Amino acid sequence: MSPAEPSIGIVSRGVYLPLRRETAARLASRAGLGKEEVEALGIRCKPVPGPGDHPVPMAVQAARQALSRGGVDPEQVDVVIWTGEEYKDYVAQTAAIRLQEEVGCRNAWAFDLVGQGVTSLVGLRVARDLMIGDDTIRTVLLAGGTRNLDLVDPGNPQTRFLLAYSASGGALLVRRDHPRNRVVGLAFHVDPDMADAVYVPGGGTEHPFCEENLGTPAMFFQAADPAALAEYLATRFPTGLVAVARAALRGMRPDYVALRHLPPAVREQVLSALEIHDLRSATLAEWGHHGTNDVILSLDLGARSGALRNGDLTVLVSAGIGFTYAAAAVRWGPG
């Protein structure tokens, strides 16, 4: 970051999790697997949505929490950015505007970002760049919800790696030259050859939903080439996470890793490569996978447990189908 550029600090965070939970045993029954097989995917239990737990309302809950915790009047927010998933309450909805109205950010500009599992970190980059380009922008609210578990067929072995999908709202409130929790590095990477490796075939312009495909596999995530996907997840996926984390750290060694949900074996591989003890990175085995909200949840868990302390260099590391990778290095606390 150039000395002439404004720094960006995380003022506060917010996390909303539904009260209902699904155990590994229950998920195993629905997926036709053994409980041990589900636990090997890094799932002991996970929140599942109840009535009203749609992406925007969950994001609203998280945003209100972040604003309250940060002591920021919603009318002081200059930009509201939706950093949740593409699958939202309605098709072709600008969720950021709905979110903006619900939380009272009446003076803000609002728009949606789509980055699959890395949108919160893309949002940090966009917020910083907006502040560089416009000195009237001081405070940005990043918030989003996820319910991608609706798009996962538990009985499909080709997309078993998505069984951890859960439901949540997550928010980060960031501010120009904030003296705490400064973002000191950002990095991004994509593997374009995997762009169409996993997607939902139905509901788009090529195959609109109709009477013939409702209730069929077209409504759920599918793998275009299952063998190639399995090879990718076993090899390039873990190394991609490590590489993007190192790029954001710029030679520094982290004290805490806010890591997206991973199966235990992959999680151990990534943490070992980053030279981090397991206790300095919150496991999400009892919380599920929340896509872009994983890193916010991990930050929250780390701060609450004391694993993340003032002065620590933390790196937020995520990835999503596409395949796309992102990381942000943050100096936690004052300074």
- Mapped to the 3 state alphabet, what secondary structure does 216-284 carry? CHHHCCEECCHHHHHHHHHCHHHHHHHHHHHHHHCCCCCCEEEECCCCHHHHHHHHHHCCCCHHHCCCC
Model pLDDT, residue 7: 87
Q: Distance between CA atoms of 244 and 121, rounded to whole angstroms?
A: 12
pLDDT in tens, the chain (335 residues): 554 567 899 999 999 999 999 999 999 999 999 999 999 999 999 999 999 999 999 999 999 999 999 999 999 999 999 999 999 999 999 999 999 999 999 999 999 999 989 999 999 999 999 999 999 999 999 999 999 999 999 999 999 999 999 999 999 999 999 999 999 999 999 999 999 999 999 999 999 999 999 989 999 999 999 999 999 999 999 999 999 999 999 999 999 999 999 999 999 999 999 999 999 999 999 999 999 999 999 999 999 999 999 999 999 999 999 999 999 999 999 97
Q: Is the pTM for the entire model greater than 0.85? A: yes
Domains contained in the chain, CATH given: 8-178 (3.40.47.10), 184-334 (3.40.47.10)
Residue 33 corresponds to which tokens in the numbers above? 């697997």
Q: Distance between CA atoms of 103 and 75, rounded to whole angstroms?
A: 9
Q: Please report which helix (H) or strand (E) contains residue 124, including its range.
A: helix 119-133
Q: Distance between CA atoms of 218 and 43, rounded to whole angstroms?
A: 26
**Ramachandran assignment for 168, one of left (phi > 0), alpha (psi -120 to 50 degrees), beta (any other):** beta
Q: Distance between CA atoms of 6 and 140, rounded to whole angstroms?
A: 14
Whole-angstrom CA distances from 118 to 74, 140, 320, 321, 322 are 25, 17, 6, 10, 10
Tell me which amino acid residue 280 is.
Answer: R
Other CB atoms within 10 Å distance of the CB of residue 271: 19
Burial of residue 208 (CB within 10 Å: 0-12, 13-18, 19+) is exposed
The bridge status of strand 79-82 relative to strand 139-146 is parallel
Tell me which amino acid residue 254 is.
Answer: P
Model pLDDT, residue 4: 57
